[in-house]
């Protein structure tokens, strides 16, 4: 594929990359990738995890004849802004600006701009689409309720795992009441963020992006999902522990355009196949192994068929 650096402005300067097929004729359709949570760059990488999923998706679409715009989230990579002071609506505005920038590219058909969200990106796309009116939407590993609900689900899974854990480790963790203290600590922190008016909170030496959390917790996506009338593809892995895999079908039910939803049996939140059983306690080591693998072939096959139907 061919690539070109681009930049566009909201209240900060956003930098990114447009990928093109090696050979093409006429105006091209384009997919904009909307990131998951964290200080992630255009390839899907953060200091704590080199996921590279968005670069891999760009290569996949370019090979199919589709251009891709991916960009560094504000406060990450080459983009301006402060990640910790960034709210949900700042990210929505960045996504709207990305669509406008894509429509101005001379190689791109402005009527064929598609949005692809991963994780948090699936929450950001409905309000982005309300302003930008995409030609179609792909939602990968998303949660059809707000971020607080997804975070509470993760703690619930941890609690259940500790309760059921066999052997000495299970006895120790239960004695330490890990399965009971996690939920109460989380609730206390969430309540503090809701009550605070600070953009950034500090807990010891840790900075917390409180504005981002507050805005997500207060957002109800039902109305924005119902406003979606373009084609939608939703895919989530059954081994995803960061969102509820069942929500993939809620997306399809709640939008008002033609929608398809799929659960991939062995795919996790990193969009890779996972042989291990799901585990919150072992998640770090599971993800470390997953990052050595390519993106799920089954996921890419489904996206390819949908691309032939709606994008090309």
In this prediction, residue 241 carries a pLDDT of 93
Q: How confident is the model at residue 172 (pLDDT cuts 50, 70, 90)?
A: very low
CB atoms within 10 A of CB 102: 24
- Read off the pLDDT of residues 226-241 as tens digits, 9 standing for 90 and up: 999 999 999 999 999 9
Q: Express each pLDDT in 184-229 by its tens digit.
A: 777 887 888 888 899 999 888 889 999 999 999 999 999 999 999 9
Q: Assign 3-class secondary structure to 196-264.
A: CCCCCEEECCEEECHHHHHHHHHCCCHHHHHCCCCCEEEEEECCCCCCCCCHHHHHHHHCCCCEEEEEE
Lowest mean pLDDT among 64-68, 103-107, 128-132, 194-198: 194-198
Per DSSP, what are the bridge partners of residue 117? Answer: 34, 139
Residue 230: name the closest of 145, 301, 129 by CA: 129
Q: What is the pLDDT of residue 177?
A: 58
Contact assessment for residue 251 and residue 139, using Cβ atoms and an 8 Å cutoff: yes
How much of the chain exceeds pLDDT 70, in percent? 92
Percent of residues, the chain, with pLDDT higher than 90: 78
Q: Would you say residue 153 has pLDDT above 90?
A: no
257-275 residue pLDDT tens: 999 999 999 999 999 999 9
The whole-number pLDDT of residue 237 equals 98
- Residue 178: pLDDT band (50, 70, 90) is low
Output the pLDDT for position 159: 66
What average pLDDT score do residues 127-131 get?
97
Q: Is 59 exposed, middle or buried (0-12, 13-18, 19+ CB in 10 A)?
A: middle
**Given this model, what pLDDT does residue 292 score?**
95
Query: Averaged over 269-293, what is the pLDDT?
Result: 93
> Residue 169's pLDDT is what?
54
Using an 8 Å Cβ cutoff, are 3 and 54 in contact? no
The pLDDT value recorded for residue 281 is 81
3-state secondary structure of 183: helix
9-23 per-position pLDDT tens digit: 999 999 999 999 998
Confidence at residue 206, expressed as pLDDT on a 0 to 100 scale: 87
The whole-number pLDDT of residue 181 equals 67
């Amino acid at each position: 594929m061919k690539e070109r650096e681009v930049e566009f402005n909201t209240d900060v300067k956003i930098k990114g990359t447009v990928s093109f097929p090696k050979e093409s004729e006429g105006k091209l359709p384009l997919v904009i990738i909307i990131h998951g949570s964290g200080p992630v760059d255009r390839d899907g990488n953060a200091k704590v995890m080199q996921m590279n999923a968005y670069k891999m998706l760009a290569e996949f679409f370019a090979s199919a004849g589709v251009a891709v715009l991916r960009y560094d989230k504000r406060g990450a990579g080459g983009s301006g802004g402060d990640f910790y002071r960034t709210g949900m609506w700042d990210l929505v505005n960045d996504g709207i600006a990305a669509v406008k920038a894509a429509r101005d590219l001379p190689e791109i058909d402005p009527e064929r701009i598609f949005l692809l969200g991963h994780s948090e990106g699936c929450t950001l796309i409905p309000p982005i689409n309300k302003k930008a009116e995409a030609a179609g939407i792909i939602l990968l590993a998303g949660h059809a309720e707000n971020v607080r609900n997804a975070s509470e689900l993760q703690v619930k899974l941890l609690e259940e795992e500790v309760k059921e854990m066999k052997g000495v480790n299970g006895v120790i963790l239960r004695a330490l009441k890990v399965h009971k203290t996690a939920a109460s600590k989380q609730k206390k922190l969430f309540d503090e963020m809701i009550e605070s008016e600070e953009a950034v909170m500090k807990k010891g030496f840790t900075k917390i992006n409180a504005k981002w959390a507050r805005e997500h917790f207060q957002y109800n996506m039902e109305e924005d999902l119902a406003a979606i009338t373009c084609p939608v593809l939703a895919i989530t892995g059954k081994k995803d522990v960061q969102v509820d895999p069942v929500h993939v079908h809620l997306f399809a039910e709640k939008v008002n355009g033609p929608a398809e939803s799929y659960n991939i049996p062995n795919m996790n939140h990193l969009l890779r196949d996972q042989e291990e059983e799901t585990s919150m306690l072992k998640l770090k080591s599971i993800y470390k192994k997953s990052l050595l693998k390519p993106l799920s072939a089954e996921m890419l096959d489904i996206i390819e068929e949908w691309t032939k139907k709606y994008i090309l």
